[in-house]
Structure 1
Amino acid sequence: MKFTGSDSYVATEDLMIAVNAAVTLERPLLVKGEPGTGKTELARQVAAALGLPIIEWHIKSTTKAQQGLYEYDAVSRLRDSQLGEERVRDVRNYIKPGKLWEAFAADSKVVLLIDEIDKADIEFPNDLLQELDRMEFFVYETGETIRARHRPIVIITSNNEKELPDAFLRRCFFHYIRFPDMDTMKRIVEVHFPGIKEALLTAALTRFYEIRETPGLKKKPSTSEVLDWLKLLLAEDLSPEDLRRDGTSALPKLHGALLKNEQDVHLFERLAFMARAQR
């Protein structure tokens, strides 16, 4: 069971090595990187390439680790008991399995994605240590232990918004997805826009990397944003010449696909003003 990338996802050699190492070690793969570098999509592509189902658990700031195991609806049970409902006799009717339970109970091996774990409370990763380590957990309401029938491939993503606990990191295989260089980005674009003209692609990516490297930029545009930008360039049938700086504006054509806050737009407006003043 080896991951070698796919036709719709450009995986670098070191990323493929990381995925396969985590599978061999039977440890969660912790993937970090800038937003928009394909961390979430990696889990989907690994599942597709290996022919496995995927279970996705998208983490929010309010998510608790317990929700991944199960939730017990005591309020509904109390209400049903007051109404004399027959189903109240079986506590299992009020237990909702979480994503880990689904992965553990699956009939075959699955890929379990725990997406953006750094959004949750700092204790969230620690609260999952034992369950991810032992691949089992205890249901107090029923007195049963849920064990993984087939050990899932666990892929955990993080945008590096907060540090993760050392105890959690020790149990993971770690990989940082570096931002693609020009050659890798061209391969990524070719997957999404096959046959794109080389001159337009080179001009667009040259402009894109210039923007990313501009000092003082608050939010650097990501891979997903450059793909959106290229889609617009193709829809508007712009030429490489249209993308060159004309001296009157430092803002690229259709810059709303790349620059996502007013501070960065003002930064490029100031750069254009200073360039004109120096003439």
Structure 2
Amino acid sequence: MQFSGTADYIADKDLMVAVNAAIALERPLLVKGEPGTGKTELARQVAAALGLDMIEWSIKSTTKAQQGLYEYDAVSRLRDSQLGDARVNDVRNYIRQGKLWQAFAAGEKTVLLIDEIDKADIEFPNDLLQELDRMEFHVYETGETVKAAVRPIVIITSNNEKELPDAFLRRCFFHYIRFPDADTLTRIVEVHYPGIKQALIRSALTQFYEIRETPGLRKKPSTSEALDWIRLLVAEDVDPADLRADPKQALPKLHGALLKNEQDVHLFERLAFMARRER
């Protein structure tokens, strides 16, 4: 079972090695990188390439590790007991399976995505250590043990908003997705917009990288934002020659797709003002 990328996802050699190493070791693959570099999409493409079902667990700041295993609805059971409902005799009627349970019980290999694990509380990764390591957990309300007959391929993403515990990191195979260089990003654009004019790609990406490298920029535009911007340039039929002008002379065309806070907009306005004064 080898991942070698797909027609819709440009994966470099190091990323393919990381995915296949995690599969061979049967370890979770921890993927970090800037937002918008394709971490979440990687899991979907791995599932598509290997012909596997995918189970996605999107983590929020309020998510608890227990929710990934199961949740016991004691309130509903109490209410039903007061109403004389016969369902109360079987506690299983009040247990809702979490995403890990679904992956463990699938009966065949699946891809389990734990997306943006760094959004949760710092103890969240530690609370899943044993479950991800042993691929089993105990259900206290029923006394049963849920064990994966087939280990899922676990892909965990992080935007590096907070450090993850060392004990958790030891159990993972790690890969950092670097921001793509111009050649790789050109290939990504061509996958999404086949037939796009090469002159437009060259001019757009030249300005895109100049924007990313602007000193003082608070949020560098990501790959997904580059794709959105180029899509707008195509829709507006922008002349590539208009993009080859000095980027410091004015805000980038359709800058709302690239600059996502007022500080960065003001930065480019100041640069344009200073450039005009120097003439």
If the length of structure 2 is used for normalisation, what is the TM-score?
Answer: 0.99
Given the superposition, is the C-alpha separation of residues 184 and 82 from structure 1 closer, same or farther in structure 2, using an over 3 Å criterion? same
The whole-number CA distance in structure 2 between the counterparts of 1:63 and 1:56 is 14
Instruction: Give the equivalent residue in structure 1 for 2:223.
Output: 223
1:86-105 matches, cutoff 5 A: 86-105=86-105
State the percentage of identical aligned residues: 82
Task: Note the aligned Cα RMSD (angstroms).
Answer: 0.9
The whole-number CA distance in structure 1 between the counterparts of 2:90 and 2:147 is 21
The whole-number CA distance in structure 2 between the counterparts of 1:270 and 1:248 is 9
Residues 118-155 of structure 1, C-alpha deviations (whole Å, 9 max, x = no match): 00000000000000000000000000000002100000
Q: Is the 8 A contact 1:247 1:275 kept in 2?
A: no
SS, match of residue 155 in structure 1: strand
Instruction: Give the equivalent residue in structure 2 for 1:241.
Output: 241
The whole-number CA distance in structure 2 between the counterparts of 1:187 and 1:274 is 36
Deviation at 1:259, TM superposition (A): 0.3
Instruction: Give the equivalent residue in structure 2 for 1:170.
Output: 170
Deviation at 1:244, TM superposition (A): 2.6
The whole-number CA distance in structure 1 between the counterparts of 2:85 and 2:216 is 64
1:121-132 matches, cutoff 5 A: 121-132=121-132
Residues 244-268 of structure 1, C-alpha deviations (whole Å, 9 max, x = no match): 3368843111000000010000000
The answer to whether structure 1 residue 40 and structure 2 residue 40 are counterparts is: yes
SS, match of residue 22 in structure 2: helix
The whole-number CA distance in structure 1 between the counterparts of 2:192 and 2:156 is 25
Output the amino acid matched with 2:3.
Answer: F
Deviation at 1:242, TM superposition (A): 1.6
Q: Is the 8 A contact 1:28 1:155 kept in 2?
A: yes
SS, match of residue 179 in structure 2: coil
Output the amino acid matched with 1:241.
Answer: A
Q: Is the 8 A contact 1:109 1:150 kept in 2?
A: yes
Output the amino acid matched with 2:258.
Answer: L
Q: Is the 8 A contact 1:247 1:276 kept in 2?
A: no
Deviation at 1:91, TM superposition (A): 0.2
Deviation at 1:215, TM superposition (A): 0.5
If the length of structure 1 is used for normalisation, what is the TM-score?
Answer: 0.99
1:65-104 matches, cutoff 5 A: 65-104=65-104
SS, match of residue 225 in structure 2: helix
Question: Any stretches of 5+ residues in structure 1 without a counterpart?
Answer: none
The whole-number CA distance in structure 1 between the counterparts of 2:250 and 2:114 is 40
SS, match of residue 211 in structure 2: helix
Q: Is the 8 A contact 1:31 1:157 kept in 2?
A: yes
Instruction: Give the equivalent residue in structure 1 for 2:3.
Output: 3
Instruction: Give the equivalent residue in structure 2 for 1:120.
Output: 120
Output the amino acid matched with 1:10.
Answer: I
Question: Any stretches of 5+ residues in structure 2 without a counterpart?
Answer: none
Between 1:233-242 and 1:52-61, the stretch displaced more is: 233-242
The whole-number CA distance in structure 1 between the counterparts of 2:87 and 2:198 is 66
Instruction: Give the equivalent residue in structure 1 for 2:151.
Output: 151
Residues 82-120 of structure 1, C-alpha deviations (whole Å, 9 max, x = no match): 000000000000000000000000021000000000000
Residues 64-94 of structure 1, C-alpha deviations (whole Å, 9 max, x = no match): 0000000000000000000000000000000
The whole-number CA distance in structure 2 between the counterparts of 1:154 and 1:228 is 29
